[in-house]
Every structure is written in C-alpha cells, then in structure tokens.
Structure 1
Amino acid sequence: MKKIWITLTTIIGVIIIGLFGAGMYFYHVAVVPGHKDFLAKTTKLKTSDPLYRQKKWFITSKKRLWFETTTDGLKLDADYIPAAHKTNKTAIVAHGFMSRKEEMGAYAAMFHKLGYNVLLPDNRGHGDSQGNVIGFGWLDRLDYLQWARQVVKKNGTDSEIVMFGISMGAAGMVMASGEQQIPQIKAYAVDSPYTSVEDEITYEAKQQYNLPKYPLVPITSLITRIRAGYSFGEASAIKQVRKNHKPIYFVTGTADTFVPHYMTKKIYRADHSSKEMWLVPGAAHVKSFSKQPKAYQQHLKQFLAKYVH
C-alpha cells in the first residue's frame, strides 16, 4: 500500500512539474517580449504596397520625441507629429503585439491628412519603451490615458483627442474606454480588438499548437498574475466596454485568422455608447486599411466628424 502511495505521489508530482514547465514555456512565448516565430516578419517598404505613399511620408516626416513615466516607474517613448496647420485635434495611435510605433506610419499619415496632430507611443515592453512584460492592452490601457493627459498638458485644455489602435492596441484602447475619462477624449476607433486576453490566448493555443484551454491557459495565467501582475481573465475588453460612455468606431476583416471577427462583433454588441462597425469583406488581420485605403479613411472621417470639430 505504501509503495502505491509513493508511486501515485511521484506521478502527481511529475505531472505538476510538467504542467508548470509547460506554463512557463507559454508564458515566455506570450508574455515576455522578444522574437515570436508565429508573427510575420516586417518587410522592406515596396512601391507595390497600397499604403506605400503613407508609409514613405511617415519615414520622412519630422517627429518630436515625447516621454511618459508609468505609475509603476517605466519610461515610455513616443513620436509626436504636429498637424500641418495648428489644431486642437490629436490622435493617439497604438500599435499591436510585438510591433512598434514606426510600423504605424500609414495610420499616422491618415490622421495627419485628416488634420490631426498624431502621437504614436511604444507600448511598455515594445520598441524604445521600457518593460519586461507584454501588457496585452490591460497594463497599457492606463498608459494610453496618461498619454492623453500629457496631450492636454502640452496642447491645451481645449484639446480634442481620438484614441485609435489596431489589434492589441485596439484591445487596449477598448479597455481604456472603461476607465475614468478626461473630457478631452472625444471618441475611440479600433481595428480588430480581441474580447479578452484569455480568449485570445485560448484561440492561439488551439490555432498554433492544437491545444485545449485547460489546463495550460489557466496555469499560464496564474504565472502571469505572479510575474507580470495581471491575469488573462481580468484583462477583458468586454467587461471594460460595458462601462464605456464614449463613441467607438469598430473595424474588422472577415478573413482575419489571428483575431477572428466574431470577437470584434461581440465587443460591439456589449458596448452601449454611440457606435458603428465596418466589416471589411476578405480583409485579413489589420489589413482593412491596405485593402480599402480610401474607404477606410472616409469611414473614419465621417464617424469622427460627429464628435471632433
């Protein structure tokens, strides 16, 4: 009998150690900044790119460097591009997972053409900003609001701010919408946000590794809670958008296999503010702008004109 208990204890111990090891592996894959094999590599700018003109403009545009210090002491970095003509309108533009501000050049050009000042932050743990973990939008939501307050401080209390993001930046902006807002934030616009970090990690575990949610996602979430300060379940765009009172414009592509469009639809349904959604036929993940550049800009322009003057 004693031998049986020793054997069972050993087996249970091996399973626990194995699961913890797997959880640590997926924690480093998902939450620790660094190269990710499952992400497409950034390609050089090509004249065949539908957004070539916008990206080229961004490369040559004059930028000012802004800094922000987070509540937990990280120094964040951002590029600021003033509008061609003096204005009180500013767009804060947030990038996606393991991206950086330089890859948001086409969106910066779009907002600049619409007459906005543009602020492009590097998320914590990305680009030139400090940080040893990826916030998946949850930690970043408060950082975005700090950037908005800095815009008001530097550009004046009559500032009118649009909060924009793609993918992880979009989810982070939706999460920010559920926090206490400054009056200068007039509207949000988001392209392909996920419903929650838990939903997205579960989806990717299935897509990338053909793994079910249990037990690895909860284990990885527990490790994230201990090491990064948040759990996957609490990082919910759905829960946050239910507290939102600002207008939001949603964009998503029907061919998105990274953040499937049903997630954006679910967030849209949970939002009770003034809202609109554009479902772009055949667009892959955050490819709606490159697929329909003129329509993308026009849709945003028409929506924002109702709230930003």
Structure 2
Amino acid sequence: MWSVILLAGLIIMVAGVVYAGFFFYGVAIKRAPKDFLAKTPDLKVDPPVAGASWGEGADWVSRQSFREAELISHDGLKLKGYFLASGRAAGRTVIIAHGYSGKAKDMGATAKNYYDNLGYNVLLPDARGHGQSEGSYIGFGWHERRDYLQWINYILEETGPEAQIVLHGVSMGGATVMMTAGEELPPQVKAVVADCGYTSVKAQLSYQLWRMYRLPSFPFVPVASLVTKLKAGYLFGEASALKQVRKARVPILFIHGDADKFVPFAMMEELYRACSSPKEQMVVHGAGHGLAYDTDKIQYVRKVGQFVERYVDNPASVRPV
C-alpha cells in the first residue's frame, strides 16, 4: 500500500516538474508577448525594452530613410534588418543588437550616436523571434550569434572588403554580441560594445526563476533546458557569453549600471575577468537595467566614441564629438 502511494506521489511530482519545464519554456523562450516584463520592479521603462531611450530614439528613427535588408538564416528563417548609409562612413558600419522582447528600431538612440556623432553606417537587425523576423522561439543570443555572422557577411557584401565593423548590443543584445565575439570573425570586425549583457542563459534564467517565483534552479531550469533543446535546438548551459569571451580576439567594451537588478551588475565583473581579448569597462553609477545611456549620456557617448576610435580607422574629416 505504502509503495503504491509513494509511486503515485513520485509520478505526480515528476509530472509537475515536467509541466513546469514546458510552462517556463512558454514564458521565457517561446515567441509570445512578454507581459511579465511590465510587472517587474527591476525595469523602469515603459514599454519595458532595455536600451530603447524611447523619446529621443523613436523620434530619430522616424526621421530616417532606412532601407530594408533581408537574409535567410542557416536554419531557413527569413530575417529582417534595416540599413542606413552615411555619406561620411568610408566603410565603417555598426551592427546594433536589441534586447529581449524588443525590435530593431527600438535602438534609435544607439543608432543616432553612431550615425550622427561618429559618421557610421547603421544596420539594425530584428533578432529571430522578434519584430519582422521569422522564428517561433528566442535564442537568447546563442542562435543569434550565427545570424550575426551572416549579417557581418551582408555588410561585407554591401560595403566591400575595406569595411570596418563594430558590434553594439544592449541586454540580450549585449549577450548576443559577446557570443558572436567568441566565433571566428573576419578581420573587418574591429570592436564590440556589450551593454548589460548576462553571463549565460542558465545563470540568467536561474536568477530570474528565484527573483520572480522564489524557486530554486534545480530541477526546473534543467527540465526547461531539455524542453528548449527539443523545441528550439539548444541547451541553456551551452548558451554562454562567459565561455565565448574567453575565446574572443576582438576588443570588447563592457558597460553596466551598478544599480541593475535585472541582469546583476556582478555579471559584468565576471565577464570582464574572463575576457581574453583587449578590454575596457564602464560602470554607470545609479543606472538600472538598460539605462546606462539615459543615466549618463555625455559619458556614455564619449566612452563609446573613444573606444571604437582606438580600433577603427577614421577618415581625417570625421572625429567623434
């Protein structure tokens, strides 16, 4: 009798954990509106998209004439992007990665800095599972890193072999460009700017599971990871910016607000220590998640300009402001 009760209890417990794995996949990974972001006390923007700088960025984007760009990913998805050529670029281009649940044109403030102040061409891709790009799931930067290799090739075809490319990402976009940095990159990729990116998908989701639900990582994150492997083709443990920056050769600027509680500030310190390539860091005091630019705009613009100028050759007529 007791063995039957224990077996029934074990089956119910296992079923509950499996259900939770599918539930958390639906919440975090599946392409769907992320309404929970609006309820988190750690995000102070509305809509809650890191790095958006809505008024300034949206106004700037509305006044530009972007050309639509398109490519087919390695696994057959149609990905959309938006390209803006600058007459001052001389082959210099920034590819900007947006955050979780956002879209390309949310990144207007970042694009404005590179286009207006630095004279760069700008490419804004919609990540898979976001905006106008196809995809039924969010890759948290892991599958997107391969998409970014294709966007880099797109720019090389667009601007020629003399191109000089910077990758700049915020939040999930920051993780995306760090994960891309660990791949074999063409020499035209000169620098990476990673703003408030996380160390790994496993670490970030474990942190959020406790913050939002007061649940431990085990067994929920491993089960959700297995569900993600079945449905989206990757495990949380392999999706690691920390491992990628250890392999990186391209210079990386790490930016993080020390008041960030959505992606903990300590993650930047861990990433910076692990990075094996030339590196710098910028700590923005008092900045929450994705708010480094808004909190200290002057210093942000100056630091990014100085960093990329160190590794990207400038035409004599173009200097950062």
Structures share fold, TM-score greater than 0.5: yes
Describe the SS at the equivalent of 1:212.
coil
| Matching of residues 29-48 of structure 1 within 5 Å | 29-40=27-38, 42-43=46-47
Report the equivalent of 2:3: 5
What is aligned with 2:189?
185
Alignment of 1:107-126 (within 5 A): 107-113=110-116, 114-126=118-130
Letter aligned with residue 109 of structure 2: A
Q: Is the 8 A contact 1:51 1:293 kept in 2?
A: no
Cα distance in structure 1, aligned partners of 2:136 and 2:125? 17
TM-score relative to the length of structure 1: 0.95
3-state SS of paired residue (1:77): strand
* Counterpart position of 1:100: 103
SS in structure 2 of the partner of residue 306 of structure 1: helix
Find the aligned partners of 2:27 and 2:56 in 1 and give their Cα distance: 34
Q: State the shift of 1:83 in Å.
A: 1.3
Q: 1:132 matched to which residue of 2?
A: 136
In structure 2, list runs of 5 or more residues that go unmatched: 39-44, 314-321
What is the deviation of 1:53?
3.9
Amino acid at match of 2:309: A
Distance, in Å, in 1 between the alignment partners of 2:216 and 2:304 is 38
Distance 1:76 1:51, change over 3 A: closer
> What secondary structure sits across from 1:233 in the alignment?
helix
1:75 aligns with 2:73: no
Q: Percent identity?
A: 41
Shift of 1:292: 1.2
Structure 2: distance between partners of 1:108 and 1:253: 20
Distance 1:134 1:57 in 2: 27
Kept after mapping to 1: 8 A contact 2:195/2:290: yes
TM-score norm. by structure 2 comes to 0.91
Count of paired positions: 303
2:41 matched residue in structure 1? none
Unaligned runs of 5+ in 1: none
1:217 maps to 2:221:
yes
The alpha-carbon deviation at position 51 of structure 1 amounts to 6.9
Q: CA deviation at 1:52?
A: 3.6
What is the distance in 2 between the residues matched to 1:242 and 1:202?
22
For 1:141, the aligned partner's letter is R
Match of 1:258 in 2: 262
The whole-number CA distance in structure 2 between the counterparts of 1:178 and 1:90 is 20
- Is 1:284–2:288 an aligned residue pair? yes
CA distance in 1, matches of 2:268, 2:166: 19
What's 1:62 paired with? 65
Partner amino acid, structure 2, of 1:74:
L
Q: Kindly provide the CA deviation profile for residues 160-179 of structure 1, in whole angstroms up to 9, marking residues without a partner as x.
A: 00011000011011011111
Task: State the distance in 1 between where 2:218 and 2:295 align.
Answer: 37
Q: CA deviation at 1:55?
A: 3.3
Separation in 2 of the partners of 1:269 and 1:213?
25
Per-residue deviation, 1:5:
2.5
2:211 aligns with 207
Whole-Å separation in 2 of the counterparts to 1:104 and 1:31: 22
Pairwise CA distance, 1:34:
1.3
Alpha-carbon distance between aligned partners in 1 of 2:28 and 2:253, rounded to the nearest angstrom = 28
Deviation (angstroms), 1:212: 1.1
- 2:88 aligns with one of 47, 67, 85: 85
Q: Counterpart of 1:25? A: 23
**After superposition, what is the alpha-carbon deviation per residue over 1:131-165, rounded to whole angstroms, capped at 9, x for unaligned?**
00100000101101110011001110000000110
| Aligned: 1:194 with 2:198 | yes
Aligned partner letter, 2:148: Y
| Aligned equivalent of 1:267 | 271
Q: Which shifted more, 30-39 or 163-172?
A: 30-39
What amino acid does structure 2 have at the position aligned with 1:170? Answer: G
Partner SS for 2:238: coil
Contact 1:24 1:223 in 2 (8 A): yes
Per-residue CA deviation, residues 170-224 of structure 1 (Å, 9 max, x unaligned), is 1011011111111110110010010000000001011111111111111111111
What is the aligned-residue RMSD (CA, Å)? 1.6
